[in-house]
């Protein structure tokens, strides 16, 4: 079974017209976030397909070389040196593959949202900023920019006005909220359409946040 075939796909009650590709965090899997869907309370009249892929399993340096699902290796606790960029670029191509499959099934990129938590958030933000076609939205939760103190290279103008939602926990001890705030500042300074929401939580998601995500997804799936 290849990468995309292993993804969990949840079809909508009605004919799919939109798609949310949801990327999990380090050591998790597509099954980790799939159970969140009922909490979105989308009802029985929506057209949104959800795809929950699982990252390849690789040794993670920071975790003593243990092999686990990861979008890239983490080589250092220092955010400025944390992400293995070769792995980030390899996973970007996997995400491009997922988007291409949705396009082949009749959902244009402009109706596709990239969402992710922690490592998955890093990948949704990095990939979305560089993707050459417009997307419906980019959701980046509890994450940072892999390029640390600067925006990624080879940015695409296609998503300069795309709705970006950044969310973070004020008590996050895995990815400091300052890292998310730095990413948000860089986006705003560069003229991106990014919103910022913080919640009194650790490296996790909370019910209030889930409700806000549902509203944001629905608002961006009405085009």
Which listed residue (29, 91, 109, 118) is catalytic? 118
Q: What's 83's DSSP letter? A: B
Which listed residue (46, 47, 96, 203) is catalytic? 203
Pairing status of strand 137-141 against strand 48-52: unpaired
Sign of the C-alpha dihedral computed for residues 207, 210, 212 and 214 taken in this order: negative
- Asked whether 186 and 155 are in contact (CB, 8 A), the reply is no
Which listed residue (28, 73, 84, 172) is catalytic? 172
Please tell me the total number of residues recorded for the chain in this structure. 223
Whether 150 is catalytic is: no
Distance CA 117, CA 23 (A): 6
Whether 156 is catalytic is: no
Whether 168 is catalytic is: no
Placement of tokens 């944001």 in the chain = 216
Sign of the C-alpha dihedral computed for residues 176, 179, 185 and 187 taken in this order: negative
Residues contacting 6, CB < 8 A, separation 6+? 30, 53, 54
**Within its chain, how far is the Cα of 207 from the centroid?**
18
Catalytic positions: 118, 172, 203
């Amino acid at each position: 079974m290849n990468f995309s075939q292993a993804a969990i796909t949840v079809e909508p009650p009605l004919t799919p017209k939109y798609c949310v590709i949801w990327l999990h965090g380090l050591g998790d899997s597509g099954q980790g976030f799939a159970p969140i869907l009922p909490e979105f309370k989308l009802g029985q009249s929506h057209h949104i397909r959800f795809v929950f892929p699982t990252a390849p399993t690789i040794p993670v340096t920071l975790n003593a070389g243990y092999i686990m699902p990861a979008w890239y290796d983490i080589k250092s606790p220092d955010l400025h040196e944390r992400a293995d960029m070769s792995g980030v670029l390899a996973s970007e191509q996997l995400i491009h593959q997922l988007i291409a499959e949705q396009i082949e099934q009749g959902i244009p990129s402009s109706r596709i949202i990239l969402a992710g938590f922690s490592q998955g958030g890093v990948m949704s933000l990095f990939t979305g900023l560089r993707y050459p076609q417009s997307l419906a939205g980019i959701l980046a939760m509890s994450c940072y920019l892999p390029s640390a103190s600067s925006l990624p290279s080879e940015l695409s103008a296609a998503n300069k006005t795309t709705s970006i939602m950044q969310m973070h926990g004020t008590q996050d001890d895995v990815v400091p909220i300052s890292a998310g705030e730095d990413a948000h500042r860089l986006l705003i300074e560069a003229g991106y359409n990014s919103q910022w929401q913080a919640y009194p939580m650790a490296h996790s998601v909370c019910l209030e946040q889930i409700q806000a995500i549902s509203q944001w997804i629905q608002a961006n799936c009405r085009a």
